[in-house]
Chain A
Amino acid sequence: MELKNLRGRVAYIFDEEDFDVDQIVGVKNIKITDINELAAVAMKSYDPDFADKVQPGDLLVGGRNFGYGHPHYPPMRAMRHLGIAGVVAESFSPGYWRGEISMGFPQASCPGILGLVERWDEIEVDWKAGVVRNLTKGTELPIEPLSKADEQMLIAGGLVPYLKQTTPSRGANREH
């Protein structure tokens, strides 16, 4: 099975370096667990009408070291609920990356992406060709290849389905 390409509009660009994703919902809302409540507070300080503008399949774009700090899961849960299908950034902070890949949420590392796109451009992440295409402008840039495990985890739809498919690879921790 192959990883499906992502195709959508650039719904927002976080151009700040070392962006702390908790800011998407605001730190005071980080403990909200109800998904509708979370989605209702998401992006309010960036674009109050974000929820009305975003469409299923849209993508987020980030700067260098996206997800730095102490990332929690609720912000991207909210973004997925609003229809966001993935994130393309200049580079990612490892903790954030592992966390979101384990949720089955596609992330593509693309040095130069901030110079490639403007908000609402239509873009495509082509995993096989290893590029991000700006379909609006007719330009493209290479992405960094996923590790095999990350790719399999995204195809499976997250950590648990991935482990179910691939265990036992070299013997599970079962009592014999």
Chain B
Amino acid sequence: MGYTIAEKILARAAGVPHAKAGDELMAKPDFVLAYDFPGYTDVYFKSMKEDFGIEKVAEPERFGIFIDHMVPAVTPKEEELHIGTRKWCEENNVPLFERRGIGHQVAAEVGYAVPGAFVVHFDGHISQLGTFGTLAIGMRRNVLEAFVRDHVSIRVPQTVRVNLSGELSPGVMARDVFHHLVRVMGPSSCRFQVLEVGGPAVAKLSTEGLQVITGLAMFTGAITAIVNPEGERLKYALERARKKLEPVYSDPDAEYSAVYDIDLTGLEPVVVVPPTPANTRNLSEYIGLEVHAGYLGSCASGRLEDLRIAAQILKGRQVKQGFMLNVIPTSQEIMAAAGREGLLSILAEAGAFVSSPSCDYCFGRIATMTDNQRAVSTGTLNVKGRMGSPDSEIYLCNAAAVAAAAIEGKIADPRKYL
């Protein structure tokens, strides 16, 4: 029997010849990533010194810290947190990426998405580095382990393989593909496992689209997702890689706990209705539902293909009076590219509020909704209170559907504007 890409990466990281699902190993992450957030990084930095007597990390090049939440700060306390983070990074000589964009995207841009690497973070959306053949796992609080010693304990996960085939129709995006997977496979189908995305349609999906699909893997129960890196993905990652590693690939006879064959032909745009990411429906069932706000951004959208389709829909049209459309490119690199393409001016002329990268729209820290408001959103999550009041509602959909809703002030089919 062969090995999965996840088994191969963990075997190398643990320094053992082979690893199989179920093995309990101590594996050395190639990179340890985090964004500063109260109760997380501030606690780790303090605990390192006070509980473990560690003044400085031994291999600063293995770390990467992002300031992407609470950007810009709105209270002195938030700014104090950032000051503490800057100080720790400086003292430890650890790379800090501040105001460069949402860390999970920036991590790929600055070369942490090394094919074959093992990466840990506390936040599970880091799984999107899997687009480049990187095994990136969100450990929640347990990531402290990676700050206080060089190996972390891990049980080698099983892998669920999904083979995508067929073609996406116009107006149907990677975002729809992911939520369709949840609909077909179920929200616990990949519990504690790796979601490996493959099949003939993967070559046709954009790199940005795969970042969306792998980045949302947690809503299938997966601990991460991964793609065997090929083509433009591999090239992108190798050009930027911070570490030289040999890319690895699943063997043809690798052992999977389940295999799903999913044909994307005929897939329609979907909407994920509140209050859980398990509720995928066809967008067509919700046409006409009044919405008050729209968010195009987050680590699960807000990239060039999302901005392009929104600009295509909004070009020469206007956001409906009273509708609040926030368009937040995911990184500075993306924002600059969108500016060069003229997308930002189209969006601004249509009446969108276009602002610099920040995580804060996704969790209601800014653009906060009040009772009885309803948003269409490309953010990561639609649980109660995620974007403000517990009595507001979030309908997750693709970037095109957000743009179409902005024109009409209600959920609309984006395909009629394409």
Chain A positions near chain B (C-beta within 8 angstroms) = 17-18, 20, 22, 26-28, 30, 64-65, 68-70, 91-95, 97-99, 102-103, 147-149, 159-160, 163-164, 167-176
Contact = CB atoms under 8 A, between A and B. Distances in A.
Contacts, number: 122
B141 A173 contact: no
A159 B47 CA distance: 11
| Interface size class, chain B | 35 or more
Contacts of B151: 169-171
Nearest to B279: A18
B384 A160 contact: no
B169 interface: no
Given A167-B52, A170-B26, A172-B54, A95 B140 contact: yes
Nearest to B189: A65
A171 B222 CA distance: 30
B188 A91 contact: yes
A172 B148 contact: yes
Given A20-B276, A167-B52, A148 B385 contact: no
A101 B124 CA distance: 17
Interface string B137-158: 0111110110111110111000
Interface string B360-393: 0000000000000000000001011110011000
B58 interface: yes
A65 B385 contact: no
Contact of B149 (A20, A99, A103, A169): A169
A175 B54 CA distance: 8
Nearest to A19: B276
Contacts of B58: 173-176
> Which 6 pairs across A and B sit closest by C-beta, in order of nearness?
A27-B385, A65-B188, A149-B153, A27-B390, A27-B384, A102-B141
B393 to A, nearest CB: 12
Q: Which of A22, A27, A103 has the most CB of B within 10 A?
A: A27
A92 B56 CA distance: 36
B386 A70 contact: yes
B407 interface: no
Nearest to B384: A27
A30 B385 contact: yes
Contacts of A173: 54, 57-59, 147-150
A105 to B, nearest CB: 12
B276 A163 contact: no
Contact of B52 (A92, A147, A163, A175): A163
B29 to A, nearest CB: 11
A18 B138 contact: no
Contacts of B221: 65, 68, 93-94
A159 B144 CA distance: 8
Given A94-B223, A170-B151, A175-B56, 6 more contacts: A28-B385, A147-B24, A171-B149, A171-B150, A173-B58, A173-B149
